[in-house]
A and B are shown apart, each in its own frame.
Chain A
Amino acid sequence: MMSLSETIWAVVKILIMVGFLFNVGGLLTWLDRRQSAMIQDRIGPNRAVIKVFGIEFRLGGLLHPLADGVKFFFKEDFIPPRGDKLLFAVAPILVMAPVLALIAVIPFGDKLCVDDLWRTTDTGSLLFPAVPRYGSCLIPVARGGIAAIDLQVASLNVGILYVFALAGQGIVGAALAGWSSDNKFSLLGALRAASQMVSYEVTIGMSLVGALMIYGSVRMGDMVRWQGDHAWGIFIQPLAFFMFFMAAVAESKRIPFDLPEAESELVSGYFTEYSGMKFGMFYFAEYMEVVTSSMLLVTIFLGGWQLPFLHRDGLTIDIGTWRALQLPMNHLTVTAIQVCTFFGKVLFLCWIQCFVRWSLPRFRYDQLMKLCWRILLPLSLANILVTGVVYLLLDHAGPVLGNTLQMIGDLTQAVVAIAITYFVLSIVIGLIRPTRRTSWVVGSTAKLAQRFGGTPRSPRMQA
């Protein structure tokens, strides 16, 4: 039975994850419009306004998701008279609930030792660390409380299988929505959605096998720890990363894979007949799927909450056997940094998905199917074989090669550290630097094209 403190911690963790998902989902609807405005040389949403004592706050359009949400609730509800009423009602719930429940197995931090929050390892004496680098905490069971808390809603041993099980429910929701709507466009959209998601489900499953072979576990926490000790998944399974990324975008039915809801062909696809917040649930679930797929990518391929060289006892930079730097930190600081790292990585991947959405045109349906069955599936089968052979060869190669591999792993960590530092610095500089407000006669896209020598159709402009 669960004790009281365990229950409270479970509720707190659920609130953190669900709160993050909801807020970032809402934020992404704003980001998507803002990003498209930037790419298409427009200003973007800026009309929603809050008046406090006569002063107008627009916050760069950030109020729009809020206004949209409120508006959705007060719109007229429409149920097609000849449709299937029960299935019509179940479909939006079936689409939204699994996305929310899916985040249960995603770890957003290492094991938290409540009793050792403020303890720091003494410099030089690694024999008595404040918190062990692996496993549980020093004090097994605290007075009245629990000593070790997994920063993960449910640390299931089936991990990734739970994710697959719930992600598969989205197909049912989309298919039911289209079927029960009594609308030909909805039906076509639902068929396309079911067919597409079912196909890419195979790719998602097969592309991960290579990564699972190396991690040797389906538990999400174990995967993250393995990546912290060796190298991030993206360096070990680069092909699997890109295949999984593509399949994840296809599963969330966004451009370039948005054929089920292709506006120019099918009005709005399988949710054409939904209005108000019922439409909003499909719309919102799509953005939350972007967040959850980013979380999965971060956990499996981008090291989860790991930051290069940051261990539970502080910052230790080891390249091979050479120790470059050691800086002990207390447990609370390390945990806070790790949790922020995880959420930061997730936000970065969400941004990439928005960028992909507004940069690419839509596929044709046969191209979509060809990509899945003729390219991604054979590639993932080949990936399994190559991974198996290479892994076993390296495993039997002897200690010298093993040390070299560890060295290479450490070097990739160094590369990642440098990349993250550069990225964070450029963001900070970009925020501090004063913006130049100039109205251009030519658009920024044309300016970019000109910088790379002009497009073949348009000769170089006279700037």
Chain B
Amino acid sequence: MLSTYAPMFMIIAIATLIAGLFYTFATVLGPKNPTPEKMMPFECGSDSVGSRGVKLSVKFYLTAILFVVFDIEAVFVYPWAIQFRQLGWFGLASMIGFLSVVAIALVYVWRKGALEWES
């Protein structure tokens, strides 16, 4: 058990170490002489107006919610996919039932216009 998972933790540690080293060297090496103009956020030369908390299009929130719905469904489908051969026709019939509910949800979302980005 441990000998299977230990290399995984090793590679995660090494990956974080490499990324951290890259970051540290980037911070330490190199000159530092900030000027007021240099410290401005780069927005094509014009002064930055307003804060970061601007109102965003509601489409992005909708996408996030849709992602949660459909990705959770993918999570339900995975164990079935692995056991698919053993479950046979009965398993397939149950999954068709589940997926048709998903499909109905998709059709509903589509008809409601949540997938429209044009307007």
- Give the complex CA separation of A41 and B56 in angstroms: 42
- A385 B99 Cβ-Cβ under 8 A: yes
- Determine the chain B residues whose CB is within 8 A of the CB of A161 once the complex forms: 78
Binds B, one of A108-116, A190-198, A318-326, A348-356: A190-198
* B-facing residues in A102-136 (Cβ within 8 Å): 103-105
When each residue 58-89 of chain B gets 1 if its CB lies under 8 Å from chain A and 0 otherwise, what string results? Answer: 01100110110011001001100110110011
- Give the complex CA separation of A377 and B71 in angstroms: 11
* B-facing residues in A146-183 (Cβ within 8 Å): 153-157, 161-162, 179, 181-183
Whole-angstrom distance from the CB of B46 to the nearest CB of chain A? Answer: 10
Q: A10-B10, A187-B52, A218-B82 are in contact. Are A206 and B77 (CB under 8 A)?
A: yes
Query: Which residue of chain B has the shortest Cβ distance to A267 in the bound complex?
Result: B42
- B96 A212 Cβ-Cβ under 8 A: no
- B78 A202 Cβ-Cβ under 8 A: no
Which of B2, B23, B95 touches A388 (beta carbons < 8 Å)?
B95
* B-facing residues in A1-50 (Cβ within 8 Å): 1-2, 6, 10-11, 13-14, 17-18
- A209 B77 Cβ-Cβ under 8 A: yes
- Give the complex CA separation of A151 and B23 in angstroms: 31
Whole-angstrom distance from the CB of B71 to the nearest CB of chain A? Answer: 5
**Number of A positions contacting B (CB below 8 A):** 85
Interface residues on B, range: 35 or more
- B42 A14 Cβ-Cβ under 8 A: no
- B84 A213 Cβ-Cβ under 8 A: yes
- B19 A162 Cβ-Cβ under 8 A: no
Whole-angstrom distance from the CB of A240 to the nearest CB of chain B? Answer: 12
- A195 B64 Cβ-Cβ under 8 A: yes
- B31 A182 Cβ-Cβ under 8 A: no
Q: A155-B4, A191-B60, A366-B117 are in contact. Are A201 and B71 (CB under 8 A)?
A: yes
- A97 B71 Cβ-Cβ under 8 A: no
Binds B, one of A55-63, A70-78, A398-406, A445-453: A70-78
- Give the complex CA separation of A206 and B30 in angstroms: 46
A369 at the A/B interface (Cβ < 8 Å)? yes
- A154 B27 Cβ-Cβ under 8 A: no
* A-facing residues in B1-40 (Cβ within 8 Å): 2-8, 10-12, 14-16, 18-20, 22-23, 25-27, 29-33, 38-39
Which of A77, A201, A388 touches B30 (beta carbons < 8 Å)?
A77
- Determine the chain A residues whose CB is within 8 A of the CB of B103 once the complex forms: 378, 381
- A104 B32 Cβ-Cβ under 8 A: no
Binds B, one of A273-281, A309-317, A418-426: A273-281
Instruction: Determine the main DSSP class of B at the interface with A.
Output: helix
Which of A101, A216, A374 touches B12 (beta carbons < 8 Å)?
A101
- Give the complex CA separation of A89 and B22 in angstroms: 12
* B-facing residues in A418-445 (Cβ within 8 Å): none
- Give the complex CA separation of A373 and B105 in angstroms: 12
- Determine the chain B residues whose CB is within 8 A of the CB of A99 once the complex forms: 15
Q: A100-B14, A216-B85, A385-B99 are in contact. Are A194 and B60 (CB under 8 A)?
A: yes
- A365 B117 Cβ-Cβ under 8 A: yes
B110 at the A/B interface (Cβ < 8 Å)? yes
A361 at the A/B interface (Cβ < 8 Å)? no
- Determine the chain A residues whose CB is within 8 A of the CB of B11 once the complex forms: 14, 17-18, 100-101, 103-104, 153-154
- Determine the chain A residues whose CB is within 8 A of the CB of B60 once the complex forms: 191, 194-195
- Give the complex CA separation of A78 and B59 in angstroms: 32
A362 at the A/B interface (Cβ < 8 Å)? no
- A267 B3 Cβ-Cβ under 8 A: no
- Determine the chain B residues whose CB is within 8 A of the CB of A278 once the complex forms: 23, 26
- Give the complex CA separation of A357 and B20 in angstroms: 30
A96 at the A/B interface (Cβ < 8 Å)? yes
- B14 A184 Cβ-Cβ under 8 A: no
- B29 A369 Cβ-Cβ under 8 A: no
- A11 B10 Cβ-Cβ under 8 A: yes
Q: A93-B20, A392-B92 are in contact. Are A76 and B8 (CB under 8 A)?
A: no
- Give the complex CA separation of A77 and B38 in angstroms: 11
- Determine the chain A residues whose CB is within 8 A of the CB of B38 once the complex forms: 78
Query: Which residue of chain A has the shortest Cβ distance to B39 in the bound complex?
Result: A81
- Determine the chain B residues whose CB is within 8 A of the CB of A374 once the complex forms: 110, 115
- A98 B15 Cβ-Cβ under 8 A: yes
A272 at the A/B interface (Cβ < 8 Å)? yes
9 sample A-B contacts, Cβ–Cβ < 8 Å, listed by A number: A81-B39, A92-B22, A99-B15, A104-B8, A182-B52, A183-B42, A194-B60, A213-B85, A373-B66
Q: Name B residues whose Cβ lies closer than 8 Å to a Cβ of A.
A: 2-8, 10-12, 14-16, 18-20, 22-23, 25-27, 29-33, 38-39, 41-44, 48, 50, 52, 54, 56, 59-60, 63-64, 66-67, 70-71, 74, 77-78, 81-82, 84-85, 88-89, 92, 95-96, 99, 102-103, 106, 110, 115-118
- 4 nearest A-B residue pairs (beta carbon): A277-B26, A366-B117, A100-B15, A205-B74
